[in-house]
Structure 1
Amino acid sequence: MTEAVQIRPEQFPLTRECPFSPPKEYRDLREEAPIARVNLLDGKWAWALTRHEDVRTMLSDPRFSADRSNPDFPQMVMGRVQDDDAEKSLISMDAPEHGPARRAVLGEFTVRRMEALRPRIQEIVDERIDAMLAGPRPVDLVRELSLPVPSLVICELLGVPYSDHEFFQAHTATMVSRQSSVPDRRAAFQAVQTYLGDLILLKEKDPSEDDLLGRQIIKGREEGTYRHRALVAMAFLLLLAGHETTANMISLSTVALLENPDQLALVKADPARTLPAVEELLRYFTIVDTVTARVATEDVPLGGVTIRAGEGVLGLGFAANRDPEAFADPDDLDIERGARHHVAFGFGPHQCLGQNLARMELQIVIDTLFRRIPDLALAEPVGKLAFKDEAAIYGMYSLPVTW
């Protein structure tokens, strides 16, 4: 039986040891008590999983529920922003509800459909780098490239006006910050929900096949399954996940490659190495660490303990992706390791819907950025850069670069 390990409430969720390393406590837990009881900010406790095998097992077991409205669901921030009667998001659904809802939009994110977007994404990246090259130095890569690229892409994909990007970027930043107050996060959530609800009402009057929201309206009406509130919830999830996560990965990937010139040299020498590099960078950072929280719906034996019905579980992705049993020398950045089995996109039925899009955006940005600006360099030492240590989605506030 694994011993219970207690961590003071103010310490969990834990802060990264440095921009490139998990908290030391993750390693301690994995070695001493890989399935351990930890205290949460709200005074409750949950089981924390730190081994790669255990995290994947939990995420593929239907006895662990993703329903965030369950009062026993482990909360990583204080206070709920949604009302109990709010429309469920896709990431909060369980079977049998989850399967049809996911399949309804899954076709929008196939490899073939994503590849059809490649020329437009390449055009967007080139336009942003043109603007960087034409302006003064140093340049804030977050403002000039990392945020605009995925924001433009997801706006065009969904049919959301990019002219409103500052509005939703500001509100989503409030929502993912653990330092935001509950009223502020709730207000931000409601503002984006209202914005998307009004936008979708306009699209319902004359839906177009040219964007995802229009196609979902047309398809839902033809099948007799269309619901306005369900599409608003879906749009909210895709808009938030579609720009915030990829934007942070662009910045972090740039820093990691610049700080590991041997790895960057491999990418520059052979573009075929870029996709493996993307997988390794996703593993290396695991920017959404505790999105894989669940609650047990019945007693489940796992890794030598019995998790009882109603007990919360945290699948710590960053710990799992640095598990030496799954990845040799896990703290090294090694783009040739073959890291496709990482859990940066989750695992099982809730694995990230937009992972094909994220991979392609990262591939195009990395290839294009270092091809067009081969002497790109940090304008400040890593120790002076502003990382999002308090955010639910790890990343960078700014990244000054020069050449």
Structure 2
Amino acid sequence: MSVSELTDENLYRDPYPVYARLREESPVAFFEGTKEFLVTRFEDCRAVGSNDRVFGPSGSPDRPEARVMGMPNVLSMSGEEHRLLRTGIDDNLTQAAVRGYVEMLTRPVVADYLARLKLRGTANLTADLFEPISVRCVGNVIGLTDTANETLVEWFHAMAAGLQNVSNDQAVWDRLDRTLAEIEAQLGALYERALARPDHTLMSHVMRGGMPEGQVRSLDEILPTMKVIILGGLQEPGHAAANACAGLLLNPDQAKVVAADPAEHALRAFDEGLRWIAPIGVTPRVAAEDVVVAGTTIPAGASVAIVMASANRDENRFDNPDGFDMFRKKRPHLSFGFRPHFCSGHALSRAMGQIALDEVFRQLPNLRLDDSRQMQAKGWRFRGVTDVPATWDA
């Protein structure tokens, strides 16, 4: 494809036409904007993501992740250090653990927001419902119970903008720096509380998990990882649910099936939404040696972006990949990444998304698109339907 088409602007507006051409014409392409090789086909993404020896996590201070989250963090670590830190992160996020608390965590929050919306008859379901639900529930899991929803939403928007600031816009960096200062102050206070009195918050688990008895990680050690959790955790469940809802409303026949039996179909729809629009579209790696992928030589030390969002729409993996079809033959997608860096929050995200979609289609009769305005989506490293214009019978 023409180099002029592989631009940050085109990717940010709608990356999927760009990805389709890359898969066909240049499946491993160097993107000057971020100085990394984009790997776009499903099998190549899976091969790169599964080969942690050759394609290990990137700890480069030049990557946007370093500027936004700091280093080292859980995404940049490997080996025993990574395993021990993941012990703390994962301890209360296993499927069994999530089953024990997700109903009480999520359903009352969903019910509260729906109660405020039901009589209105119209809403942007992303901003008015799915984002607030996501940040409130995940914020509570982290321990940020006293932090306002609006603050949490601003945190992940500012951090996501920083990760995608290819144009080096100073206003974006200024917004990010204000956000990071606020995050560090609030996490510092949360750390001190959990240090004085261990509890069931994710902060407390990350401080102590995988450590010798009686020892804790320092605040400086865990701040970069907590920022990773804040960015990925706060936004991913909400955007995944919004993306799935958008897909359903664009396909009214499928929406009617979900509305007829939400409990039966909500999780299937949520999973298809994850494939259709991956909320986190890219995961970074670095090549440990010269390696050839799809006919392109990636030199040792080069940054590599595994583009899961592109892999999830690979026509050689999925039939009609650009369409939303919750009844498609079930095949694993790559939206949660790869082991050993597979998303810690996958079980919580799926359970929260199932509950949110279940309640939305149960409580909003005849839910459908509001034709008075256009559906809006943006982003490529992080992508979401930012406006799901919906109406229902109030």
TM-score (norm 1): 0.85
Question: Residue 355 of structure 1 is aligned with which of 319, 323, 346?
Answer: 346
* Matching residue within 181, 193, 210 for 2:172: 181
Structure 2 counterpart of 1:117, from 74, 77, 101: 101
**Post-superposition shift, 1:132?**
1.6
Amino acid corresponding to residue 95 of structure 1 in structure 2 = G
In the aligned structure 2, how far is the partner of 1:167 from the partner of 1:17? 26
List alignment gaps of at least 5 residues for structure 1: none
What whole-Å deviation, never above 9, does each CA across 1:282-302 have from its counterpart, x for those lacking one? 000112222x12110112233
- The 5 A counterparts of 1:33-52 are 33-41=26-34, 44=35, 46-52=36-42
Secondary structure in structure 2 of the residue aligned to 1:330: coil
Determine the C-alpha separation between the residues in 1 that align with 2:256 and 2:359.
14
Q: How far 1:170 moved relative to its partner?
A: 1.4
For residues 3 and 217 of structure 2, what CA distance do their matches in structure 1 show?
A: 46
1:275 maps to 267
Distance 1:17 1:141, change over 3 A: closer
Candidates 57, 67, 83, aligned match of 1:80: 67
SS where residue 79 of structure 2 aligns?
coil
Q: Tell me the distance in 1 between the aligned counterparts of 2:9 and 2:346.
A: 25
In structure 2, relative to structure 1, the CA distance for the partners of 1:343 and 1:279 (3 Å cut) is same
- The aligned residue for residue 168 of structure 2 is none
Q: How does 1:93-172 map to 2 (within 5 A)?
A: 93-120=77-104, 121-133=106-118, 135-172=119-156
**CA distance in structure 2 between the aligned counterparts of 1:336 and 1:95, rounded to whole angstroms:** 39
Matched, 1:402 2:391: yes
Identity of aligned residues (%): 26
Q: Secondary structure at the match of 2:325?
A: coil
Change (3 A) 1:329 1:140: closer
Alpha-carbon separation, structure 2, partners of 1:393 and 1:328: 24
TM-score, length of structure 2 as denominator length: 0.87
Distance 1:148 1:51, change over 3 A: same
Equivalent of residue 393 in structure 1, options 382, 385, 389: 382
Matched length:
381
**Aligned in 2, Cα 1:365/1:230: closer, same or farther, shift over 3 Å?**
same
* 2:333 counterpart residue number: 342
**Hey, what's the Cα distance between the residues in 1 that align with 2:82 and 2:207?**
19
Q: Distance in 2 between matches of 1:376 and 1:151?
A: 24
3-state SS, counterpart of residue 226 of structure 1: coil
Shift of 1:356: 0.7
Query: Aligned pair in 2 of structure 1 residues 261, 136: CA closer, same or farther (>3 Å)?
Result: closer
SS at match of 1:69: coil
Task: State the Cα distance separating 1:81 from its structure 2 match.
Answer: 4.1
Equivalent residues of 1:52, 1:320 under 8 A apart: yes
Give distance in 1, aligned partners of 2:332 and 2:186: 37
Q: Which residue does 1:57 correspond to in 2?
A: 47
What is the distance in 2 between the residues matched to 1:326 and 1:380?
33
Distance 1:267 1:328, change over 3 A: same
CA RMSD of aligned residues (A): 2.7
Gaps (5+ residues) in structure 2?
A: 166-170
Q: What is the CA–CA distance in structure 1 between the aligned matches of 2:37 and 2:231, rounded to whole Å?
A: 28
Tell me, yes or no, if the aligned pair for 2:142 and 2:201 is still in contact at 8 Å: yes
Distance in 2 (CA, whole Å) between partners of 1:191 and 1:118 is 28
Q: Tell me the secondary structure at the aligned position of residue 75 of structure 2.
A: helix
Residues 302 and 13 of structure 1: CA distance in aligned 2, closer, same or farther (over 3 Å): farther
Which one of the candidate residues 363, 368, 371 is aligned to 2:362?
371
